[in-house]
Amino acid sequence: MPDLLVPLYKLPGKFACSGFTVRKPMAFESATIQKWIAGTFSESWASEVLPALCRTPSTMLIAVEESSGKLAGFCAWDCTALGFLGPVGVSEEFRGTGLGRTVTLEVLYSMREQGYGYSVVGAAGPVEFFTKICNASAIPGSTPGIYPKPVL
């Protein structure tokens, strides 16, 4: 999977997804968020977001379903490398609601406000998703990218 480059000066307008609150997590929520990410996605993603959760302010946004208070999605940045977006994920039951687009764009706007001109999506899985929502383009020669073979 290639890395993607996102020009933060070409972001589309913000997109609100009704029924969800998108916000930065509080420190006391870190363990719950990591457990949810590990159970919903993977242990490696739960590890990867640790830098975002340990920073003050956090470099992560979470999406909470307003009616139930359930964690529904997240997007982090500056985890594996500075300027990198991700990981990003939405619980299967909330996919198709626009929530992935919402949390991703909110993070990209946050990165732009921090002074970044570009963002890199490392080893992007859903290339079409990022191409469609934020004008991302593949970085030539970026496979396999910065991610080494995992330690066993």
Domains belonging to the chain, first-starting first, are: 4-138 (3.40.630.30)
Average pLDDT of the chain, as a whole number: 96
Q: Could you read off the pLDDT of 91-132 as tens digits, one per residue?
A: 999 999 999 999 999 999 999 999 999 999 999 989 999 999
**What would the mean pLDDT of 77-91 be, rounded to a whole number?**
97
Question: What pLDDT sits at residue 125?
Answer: 86
pLDDT score of 33 more than 90: yes
Question: What pLDDT sits at residue 69?
Answer: 96
Question: What pLDDT sits at residue 144?
Answer: 87
Structure tokens at 142: 């970026």
Decide: pTM greater than 0.85. Answer: yes
Question: What pLDDT sits at residue 1?
Answer: 87
**What would the mean pLDDT of 79-95 be, rounded to a whole number?**
97
Inter-axis angle of helices 99-113 and 127-134, nearest 10: 60
Task: Return phi, psi of residue 119, to 5°.
Answer: -130, 150
Provide the CA 99 distance to its chain's centre, in angstroms: 11
pLDDT score of 149 more than 90: no
